[in-house]
Amino acid sequence: MIIEINKDNYEAIVQQNEKPVLLDFYATWCGPCNAFFPTIEKLAEEFYDTAIIAKVCLDEEFKFNQDIGIQFGVISIPSVVILNKGEIVGTKMTGIKSKEEYRSILSKLL
């Protein structure tokens, strides 16, 4: 299951979660973001019980989410940040990467 991050669940899902968290920053109007969505869906299916796969919509009406994007230094989308116990693991990944790259990182955290 993919979790949509918002101001009500951000703290519990992203900052206080014991599981690794993959955050996919996207916008609904972004073609590459939409092309990347099937990869995110597959990761969510594969890691459904061991990691959190979440999306952060940066569309204009989501001011809180835009602030999250700024906090994580997102300047282009799609961007992915992986966290472990609230701390960023590795570097932010921009653009479309393979499922295997994300799987490798998440697997090492488990």
Q: Cα 55 to the chain's mean position, in Å?
A: 5
Distance between CA atoms of residues 66 and 23, nearest Å: 13
Q: Is position 57 annotated as part of the catalytic site?
A: no
32 within 8 A of 96, measured Cβ to Cβ: yes
14 within 8 A of 35, measured Cβ to Cβ: no
List, in sequence order, every residue forming a beta bridge with 25; answer none if it has no partner: 56, 79
| CA quadruple 54, 26, 64, 90: dihedral sign | positive
List, in sequence order, every residue forming a beta bridge with 80; answer none if it has no partner: 24, 93
Q: Which of 30, 89, 93, 109 is catalytic?
A: 30
Q: Which of 5, 22, 33, 105 is catalytic?
A: 33
Give the active site residues.
30, 33
